[in-house]
Chain A
Amino acid sequence: MDSNYIKSAGTLENPELIRGRDISYAKKLSWSDIFNRLMIIFLGVAILLFIIIMKSKTTVDFSSGPVLYLYAIFVTTFELSRIASAMLYEKSYKSIFFDANRQALDGEYEPMVTFVIPCKNEEKAIARTVYQCYQSQYPKEKLEIIVINDGSTDHTLDILQKLTRTVPSLKVINFIHNKGKRNGMAEGFKMASGEIVVQLDSDSYIDPYTFRNIIAPFQNKEIAAVCAHADPQNADKNFITKMQAAYYFMSFRVLKAAESTFMSVFCCSGCSSAYRKSMVMPIIGQWLNEKFLGLPVTWGDDRALTSWLLKEGHKTIYTDQVQAYTIVPEKFKQLLKQQLRWKKSWIINSIFTSKFIWKKQPFVAFLYYFPLVIVSFLTPIMTFRALFYLPVIKSVAPFYHIFGVMLITALLAVCCRIFSKKESHWPYLFLWSLFNLFILSFVMFWAVIKIQDRGWGTR
């Protein structure tokens, strides 16, 4: 990493504030670092070998079961290809900052930025969120904050109105009745005076010292959206949050990074993403009026917005240089409801995206997106087969299946360790993996069955 690249990282004087981010690229690697790195890579290779050995024991012969054989090879290749793609992420990210003639882009890019924060009944958190935005290491005169009060029944509106006195760049949009996040965001976009709109949740914020990095990629004229790296603020609360912390890190730094390698991130998280307003406005109407099977799409606003941008042929990326924090469910029931919503929104969105993605991005479509859709729909079925059908009907214990899943998880954990030595929740990735295997696979079935139920459950 050259020093030009990290110039925009604000100051390096406060690295402690950057939890979990290993931003010390400029530091020369000591011998123990090299040794550690080699050991971890060696471990990764060993795990890969184990995966191959396991597959050789469990995969049927091609001649006796071609479908199962192809499925096994297909799924394993797909999962491993995510890691391969994630390994290419940094090179891809660097390339953004060079133009078509391999000239480095200016680096002096400081457009007007608007924060858009929809909220409902956030009297406790909203003030802090607004102040955090205001703290961003960026010229204050180029910052604007728009908060949409979406039919709050508590004192949110009062607090906001008080805040406008102390934070001059704060504007408040008030919906007397709840109109939903999508409408709130749309209003925010319309009213924004900034060239770049940063979208936050009412309980999330971006680390001020890394803020600049979310703006920097927009120098590249093709970029429509940038997704920050979000970690749970309440990660250490209990094992449920620790489990999610591990998953978030892996999901961003491996899975989203893998998508970002080809500059088509399919979901820029609504809790901390930035958009180029000029690319959003043309599609904002269609996005607002989106319907599925006759009913409006009530969640997955961020996913849908990203999809519309991709449909226009724009590029969307992820950056690990911007640290954002969000709040994750602390109770099991809350978590399940959230996951159910996310699965439903993914199902709806995948149908929508599949229709255009093969035209706009054939490489990504055939080598990633369609395989992803197939794997996502087949996995619950194969999980059911491994955990119920085979043990009950054929008396085959699911030992190998579970062990295989754990091996892949181990490989992902190793990757997480390579990407960041500070990320300490990686052991909980195995817990997430078990949770995903035994519970979330079947939530997928439920999501399909209940797809027309467009409620929120409880947030």
Chain B
Amino acid sequence: MNLKKIKMSFLLMLFLLIAMLCGGVSLLRGNYYLKNKYLLMQLRFLALEGQIMENNPGEMGKIFLSYSQAAGVPLNNKNAQIVPVLLYHGVMSDPNWKPDGVNISLSDFEDQMLALKAAGYQSVSLSDFNDFMKGERVLPEKSVLITFDDGRSDSYYNADPVLRAAGFRAVMFTITGRSLGPDNAKETFHLNEDELQKMLESGRWEIESHTQNGHGNIKTDAAGDQGYFLTNKMWLDSENRLETDTEFETRIDNDLAGSKEDLENKLGVKVLGFAYPFGDFGQENSNYLQGKDILTKEVDSLFPLSFRQSENSEYPGDYPGNGYHLIKRLDIQSPTDINKFISLVGSTREKSIPYSDNFLRDQGWLDAWGSSKLSQGLLLTGATQDEDSSLTFLNGTALWKDYKMNAILRLMKGSSFAIVVRYNNENNYASCDFSDSHISLTQRIAGQESVVSESDNNFPINSQEDMNVSIEVRGGSAACFLNGNEITSGDISSNLNHGGIGFKTWNNKVFNSSLLVKKIDVE
């Protein structure tokens, strides 16, 4: 071989090297399987799987198991009546991260998922949930729907190994303008198109809509104040005015329909769900109150299901017949108490009648407002320092229809209390009110309170001794009892045909009402 041939060979090798390097670099850059995040995900999954396979679900799972095995909610309902929906945002793996009121730490998330797994929970897909809500599908009693908002990278990369190890699946609501927009390949905070595809391929994720570019603020007046995109009229600088009704509607329609198209065209998915950014469907402050109707109408027409965040005063779960829209989700973030979490999810399960509670164990007493505490077989509920009233209700009783509740209680502080039935939320319930020596049957419909009937005689409240009170609802009638005697009764609205039990206290003065409940029986 002479020198010329050698030189040619060398040139060829050089050319090949450069081609390999440049080609390899541009082909593999941003490759999903080479990302550190991806490799870390695989490692975490293997570690967790090892942990689970050793039947070591962690301390919390064991506690939950003991809960459901002990005297508690009898598992006589084989299918789910109510399914809790969980909402997470970012999952943070940095051990130095401080809670920010939005995101959850990876260790808290792991604890929660492994506890659910150990307690026998199964996660459901959105389409199964949709069928369940339509009454077309039966779900196991211990079902839960897990959702994430915003389409963040840290949600997926940190949560997926946990979900995978636990055998769970989840729904990711993405802001399609950021995740599927023209520059999405450069996205690092939000997931990009390639990553969403990989998520779909894994079979563990469904990708749904969280608007196209509607997850943010717009200018709402000349002064530059800001408000949420979907529920305010935008201030148009160029025209020096607010949008017209039509312009608002067009803007909303374009964004929502655009997000649906993005998902259908770029990911090939059939879009089932929409999650309202910030949980705002118009109930927050807005410069355009009618916008709420336009928005919800548009969402209802485009998406089979829509989701918001639940209020403290609402049951954290949904059931067929309650509508497909504005489904309530439990917003979960750090700091979080794993016991409270397990109690919340577990107590969401529908309770059956007859039911009795001696308060030795918390079966799901939620505070709409005020605060309640269980201790030594007693429920103590009352107003907090800033408030003058309280309302606590029992989770898992949303579907109760006709029943009679007897309660043995004592008013410790203050002057008024009520026993609540047919509770749906803070604006819809009926109650027997004990106040100013009167016993009255009242109902609250869509926030409007009215007295149905009132006792003729005086029945002063004695805070030195226990009272035996009852309330009965059957069909459209309700009656109040004291010491077994019916005191007053009347008809309540047919709009209030189902709901659960609770207790309420109030007073003129702040921090001055508290009720001690010793036992209740429902039959």
Contacts and interface: CB of A to CB of B under 8 A. Distances in A.
Q: Do A and B come from one complex?
A: yes
Interface of A: 48, 52-53, 55-57, 59, 61, 73, 76-77, 80-81, 84-85, 87-88, 91-92, 94-95, 261-263, 363, 367
Contact of A52 (B1, B13, B21): B21
Contacts of B18: 73, 77
A59 B2 CA distance: 38
Contacts, number: 73
B476 to A, nearest CB: 69
B39 to A, nearest CB: 11
Interface in B1-48: 1-3, 6-7, 9-11, 13-14, 17-18, 20-22, 24-29, 31, 34, 36
Contact of A55 (B1, B10, B21, B36): B21
Nearest to A59: B25
A261 B6 contact: yes
Given A53-B24, A81-B13, 18 more contacts: A52-B24, A52-B25, A53-B34, A56-B25, A56-B26, A56-B27, A56-B29, A56-B34, A59-B25, A61-B29, A73-B25, A76-B21, A87-B13, A91-B1, A91-B6, A95-B3, A262-B6, A367-B10
A57 B1 CA distance: 40
Nearest to B12: A84
A95 B1 CA distance: 6
A73 B21 contact: yes
Interface of B: 1-3, 6-7, 9-11, 13-14, 17-18, 20-22, 24-29, 31, 34, 36
A92 B20 contact: no
Contacts of A53: 24, 28, 34
A76 B19 CA distance: 12
B22 A261 contact: no
A85 B10 contact: yes
Which 10 pairs show the lowest CB-CB distances between chains A and B? A56-B28, A52-B24, A84-B13, A91-B1, A56-B25, A56-B29, A80-B17, A77-B17, A55-B25, A92-B6
Contacts of A94: 1
Contacts of A95: 1-3, 6
Contacts of B17: 77, 80-81, 84
A73 B14 CA distance: 12
B3 A73 contact: no
A400 to B, nearest CB: 10
A363 B3 CA distance: 11
A59 B28 CA distance: 11
A84 B14 contact: yes
A261 B10 contact: yes
Nearest to B9: A88
A55 B25 CA distance: 6
A52 B27 CA distance: 10
Contact of A56 (B11, B13, B14, B24): B24
Instruction: From B3, B25, B29, name the one whose CB has the most chain A CB atoms within 10 angstroms.
Output: B25
A400 B1 CA distance: 40
Nearest to A60: B29
Contacts of A52: 20-21, 24-25, 28
Contacts of A87: 13
Given A52-B21, A55-B21, A85-B10, A262 B3 contact: yes
A59 B34 CA distance: 14
Nearest to A56: B28
16 contacts: A52-B21, A55-B24, A56-B34, A57-B28, A57-B29, A57-B36, A59-B29, A73-B25, A77-B14, A77-B17, A81-B13, A84-B10, A94-B1, A95-B1, A95-B3, A95-B6
B29 A262 contact: no
Nearest to A49: B24
A133 B383 CA distance: 105
Contacts of B3: 92, 95, 262-263
Given A57-B34, A73-B25, A92 B14 contact: no
A85 B3 CA distance: 12
A367 B20 CA distance: 18
Nearest to B2: A95
B454 to A, nearest CB: 71
